[in-house]
Amino acid sequence: MSRTEPGIPLNGILNIYKEQGFTSHDVVAKLRGILKTRKIGHTGTLDPMAEGVLPVCVGNATKLCELLTDTGKEYETELLFGLTTDTQDITGTVTGRASEALVNSLSEEAVQTAVKSFVGAYDQLPPMYSAIKKNGKRLHELAREGKTVNRERRRVYIESIEILSAALPRMKLRVSCSKGTYIRTLCQDIGDQLGVSATMTSLLRTRVDQFELQSAKRISEIELCQTEGEPDRFLIPTESFFSSLRRIASGDAVKNGAQYEKLVRNGNVLPLSLFKEGALHPEKGERLRVYDPDGCFAGIYCFDEADALLRPYKLFR
């Protein structure tokens, strides 16, 4: 990506490697200071003990935060059988221990059966130490006051679980799952099913949608880019999130380029009659990437078959 001139706003997505000890909010605060912009948002909370992929949206890409939060994720985690804590991870206060004999009696077959039983949809009880709100207050705030409140179970989906290693009482897993899945709760649930409980000892997020661990950058790398005058070196274009959608630009497809430009710049609907016959042929409900005559990404439009026009779905101007 080319060097950004002073005064030109930064827009795009940073694939950040969140390090242990930082909250997701800490990462945003640090990046705001480094990039000297307030318009930054993260795409899903990671606990301080967790590390790994945290997509951060900058500038007009902040409109993607909600969409990215809703995407699937992949983790690598380690759990320790026989231990229960109030936070469901190793940072918490120990609230229970299974006997050594009971833990040692676990068989490899029983463990594999328990793990595999969680593949698919299951109703997960959110932990007290979480950011979910109950009656206007976050659960972790209530937990720190020593309170426990009733929570409703939430349907989550475990796409796959792979046992990476099992040196009991410890086991490492790779989990692909839906949004809203608490891995530490999954670890405890697996242990509970085996009758010994379990607590999470480490968590590494390896993927969020198309953003993977191998390409994630540490905050220190972003800071170095800023120092060298290239704050946008690792910015991923906003429209890349929609790379699977068809692209529409003026070019030869539009009958009236001036009218097209005006409508796009103002975020208006685009009548199908604006395009040359046979140039588009969108399917019912199809979403398309729309660009202005200068080649700048304008947003996502959805085809309304009933009215024969493209309606703005998400604008990025």
Handedness of CA 293, 296, 298, 299 (dihedral sign): positive
Is 47 an active-site residue?
yes
Local structure of 116: helix, strand or coil: helix
- Angle formed at CA 72 by CA 67 and CA 73, multiple of 5 degrees: 120
CB 199 within 8 A of CB 186: no
Q: How far, in Å, CA of 167 to CA of 171, rounded?
A: 6
**Which of 2, 32, 5 shows the shortest CA–CA distance to 16?**
32
**267 contact partners, CB below 8 Å, separation of at least 6:** 298, 299, 312, 315, 317
- Other CB atoms within a 10 A radius of the CB of residue 5 amount to 7
CA 139 to chain centre: 21
Catalytic, out of 47, 89, 189, 232: 47
**Active site residue ranges:** 47
